[in-house]
Amino acid sequence: MSRGDLMNKQAPQQSPVSPTTPTPDSWQPRRYHWGWRRIRRGKDKKLHFPGQEADETVKKVVHRHWLFLVRPALPFIASLIGAFLVPLGYAIAPGAGSVWTILELVLVVLSFVTGGWFVYRVFILWELDIDIITNKRIINWRGGIRQPSRKETPLEKVQQVAIVQKSPWQFMFNYGDLHLYLMGGSININDVPAPKKVKEAIWEATEEFKARKPPKEKPP
């Protein structure tokens, strides 16, 4: 046996290196994400949502108008204001020091309670219940965390979009309802902020979708 063969036998054998599989994205469009994440911005700087098709892009995301957050937040706002005003009362009447201390503790606890209630019962629902306009369809997501539901309307069914604004508040704060006339039915999207811009986004996406469709072949 030659010296070269002996060295080859003594050298440690290296196993072939298998190609590394790229780590999949931790956010996948699976059902268990519906409860917490409706839509997110990916590394490509574009918006993505569960069930999105490969050639589908998000045109606009619509939340309910922020005005509907104000009234449920009033207890939380009032308790915060009260907690900040207690030191002022102590400066005016320092003789009732223990009373101000107890009142401060009560208002701080009340702020946490009302704030937690507002976030859990109102803000999360507002954040999750959205309408997504893509270049193919309109998706209405409702139900919050416990009972999420999703309704889809293909753009090819949209015939007309109407804005409904009846009260002075709707004109003052620039919100209203959208009524979509469809082939074989209709749907409403209520309390939409800047309804004119949302209507334009829906109509623009609808026109682009219909323009991409190949023309129907004439019968021979």
Q: Report the percentage of the chain scoring pLDDT > 70.
A: 80
Q: What is the mean pLDDT of residues 19-25?
A: 40
Question: Under 8 Å CB-to-CB from 122, ≥6 apart: which residues?
Answer: 69, 72, 73
Which residues are CB-contacts of 133 (< 8 A; sequence separation ≥ 6)? 58, 59, 60, 61, 62, 198, 201, 202, 205
pLDDT band at 57 (very low <50, low <70, confident <90, very high): very high
Q: What is the pLDDT of residue 155?
A: 93
What pTM did the predictor assign? 0.72
Share of the chain above pLDDT 90, in %: 47
Supply the angle between the helices 67-92 and 97-118 in degrees, to the nearest 10: 170
Tokens of 28: 């996948």
Instruction: Answer for the pair 191, 68: CB distance below 8 angstroms, yes or no.
Output: yes
Strand partners, 180: 161, 187
**pLDDT reading at 206 higher than 90:** yes
Of 209 and 35, the one with more pLDDT: 209
CB-based contact 121:72 (threshold 8 Å): yes
pLDDT of the residue at 179: 95
Q: Which pLDDT band holds residue 149 (cuts at 50, 70, 90)? A: confident
**Average pLDDT of the segment spanning 102-107:** 88
The CA-CA-CA angle for residues 213, 215, 216, to 5°, reads 120
Which residue's entry shows tokens 């309804």?
195
User: Rounded CA gap, 11 and 15, in Å?
Assistant: 13
Query: Which residue has better confidence, 5 or 104?
Result: 104
Catalogue the E-assigned strands of the chain: 40-41, 47-48, 58-62, 131-134, 137-142, 149-154, 158-164, 175-182, 185-193
**Average pLDDT over all residues of the chain:** 81
3-state secondary structure (DSSP) of residue 122: helix
